[in-house]
Amino acid sequence: MRLWRNGNVTILGSIKSWKSLLDLKRKDQISTAALSTSTVTTSRRRIPTVFNLVRLYSTEELQQPQLSVDLIKMMEQRLSSIENRNAHLQRFLNQPELTPSEYSTANKELKKLRDSVDLITELRAKQKEIQELKSVLSECQDDKDMQKMASEELSEATEGEKELQLLLLKSLLPKDDADERDSILEVRAGTGGEEASLFAMDIFKMYEKYSAKKGWKYEVLEIAESDLKGYKEAIASISGSGVYGKLKFESGIHRVQRVPVTEKGGRVHTSAVSVAILPQADQLDVKLRNEDLKIDTYRSGGSGGQHANTTNSAVRITHVPSGITVSIQDERSQHMNKAKALKILCAKLYEIERLRFQSSRSKLRLEQIGSGDRSERIRTYNFPQGRVTDHRVGITTHSLDDVMQGEDLDTFIDALLLREEMDAITSFSST
């Protein structure tokens, strides 16, 4: 919407005002000079789309996706069906003879459509605006000033239409049901001895700080310390809205380059830790049967006091069909250790089933983002240079301290989620 002022003449609006503006100019009630020098304010709605992220992470690999004509036609068919379904549900809910169950079911479906319908409504308004601007352009072919201003509005409206189309396409793409689940975080020291264990502790605490920033619940399930109080292995449960969808691409090898505390010569060493992010599941999700489990109890070692070392509080659960074993000795209570072990076991089994189901994932996604396999090197933390580089999207930040404090981790997470979205659009376009 634009505001034009010239003496006592004020025109407020965008599309309807163009024809009024054109009429006034033809009647010499507003001058060309006034049009070119008048104050212009724009109140265009800002749409948080992937375009903004593309501008933020401007690399050769992250280019704005192009929507083909055929893809837009396919999408328009789907949008029309959503509009028709929404209208049908509106009429259905207005029937007085509905049962409570029928009303509840229809209303629930209507709420699911609400966000898409709102975007479609905005898209239709934008498309109407474009048609009216084209009409203005055809009516003032001999007026260069009006042509210029209307062309600028048309360009802006066309860009807005593309953004809305991309948002709607994103809403139509297949979604991973696991994205809304809580997560199990596993961090293990790899090559590098004690230095790897110390870095594993740093990474584990980085995710704890990041979780606190997001308002998520971070519960430590198990920690196995090294001689220097680093973490040989650490496991946590992270609970909150969309945790797995946000963290799923953190799985892989995290490499560190720094001078270890045990290094007396000041030489930089390279060490690594593995990170695994698993969606949480319960026994119903994985159909866990008691006859498939072998449960052993034993005396726990390490810290925990005399009680922990003299009772069989530690628990080891083996899933016989898969051979997966989970051991927990973090709690003094055998019952609590068993509950934690079952939580981790269910997550592992659920992830196996998910990967089996998703084995047909596109080659493009596997190549560009990575498989999420914990054996894949994904990120390097270079302490002497104060930089962190994600090798999948080619992004480097020199705010290493902020990343380790959980502050700038979104730099990489958002770029990876953007890449996933763009790959999905590319795949959708090629089918």
Give the per-residue pLDDT at 379: 95
pLDDT of 165 = 87
- Would you state the pLDDT for residue 333? 82
Q: Which of the four CATH numbers 3.40.50.2300, 3.90.1310.10, 3.30.160.20, 1.10.238.10 does domain 293-361 have?
A: 3.30.160.20
Nearest-10 Cα torsion for 318, 319, 324, 328: -40
pLDDT beyond 90 at 76: no
- Side chain identity at residue 355, one-letter code: L
Give pLDDT tens digits for 361-388: 444 334 433 444 445 689 999 999 999 9
Position with higher pLDDT, 16 vs 67: 67
Chain CA centroid to CA 117, Å: 22
> Does 200 have pLDDT greater than 90?
yes
Task: Among 22-31, 97-106, 188-197, 415-424, name the one with the lowest average pLDDT.
Answer: 22-31
Report the alpha-carbon distance of residue 387 to residue 393 in Å, rounded: 15
Residue 430 predicted with pLDDT over 50 = yes
Q: What is the mean pLDDT of residues 25-52?
A: 41
Residues 6+ apart with CB under 8 A from 425: 65, 67, 166, 169, 170, 173
Mean pLDDT, the chain, whole residue set: 78
Which pLDDT belongs to residue 308?
45
pLDDT, tens only, 233-286: 999 999 998 899 999 999 999 999 999 988 888 899 999 999 999 888 876 677
Q: How many percent of the chain have pLDDT more than 90?
A: 36
Q: Please give the angle made by the CA atoms of 278, 243 and 109, to the nearest 5 degrees.
A: 110
pLDDT band of 36, cuts 50, 70, 90: very low
In the structure, what pLDDT confidence band is assigned to residue 174 with cuts at 50, 70 and 90?
A: low
Q: Tell me the mean pLDDT in the region 221-241.
A: 91
pTM of the model: 0.60
**pLDDT at position 65, please?**
56
Residues 132-140 have a mean pLDDT of 88
* pLDDT tens-digit map of 316-357: 999 988 889 998 887 778 888 888 888 888 888 888 877 776
pLDDT for res 284: 67
225/409 Cα distance (integer angstroms): 25
Q: Residue 414: what pLDDT?
A: 86
Three state DSSP letters for 159-171:
HHHHHHHHHHHHH
Distance CA 10, CA 21 (A): 10
Q: Are 167 and 159 in contact (CB under 8 A)?
A: no
Q: Identify the pLDDT of residue 166.
A: 82
For residue 381, what are the β-bridge partners? 256, 388
Q: Above 50 in pLDDT, residue 8? A: no
pLDDT at residue number 103: 92
What is the structure's pLDDT at 7?
Answer: 39
Among 155-164, 404-413, 420-429, the least confident range: 420-429
Class of domain 183-283+371-430: alpha beta
* The pLDDT of residue 39: 33
What's the burial of 157, exposed, middle or buried (CB within 10 Å: 0-12/13-18/19+)?
Answer: buried
pLDDT at 78 over 90: no
Identify the residue with better confidence: 10 or 236.
Answer: 236
* Residue 201 pLDDT greater than 50, yes or no: yes
| Alpha helices for 230-317 (secondary structure H) | 243-247, 283-286, 305-310
For 88-131, what is each residue's pLDDT tens digit?
999 999 999 999 999 999 998 999 899 889 999 999 999 999 99
pLDDT at 357: 61
pLDDT at 118: 93
Asked if residue 421 lies in contact with residue 255, where contact means CB atoms within 8 angstroms, the answer is: no
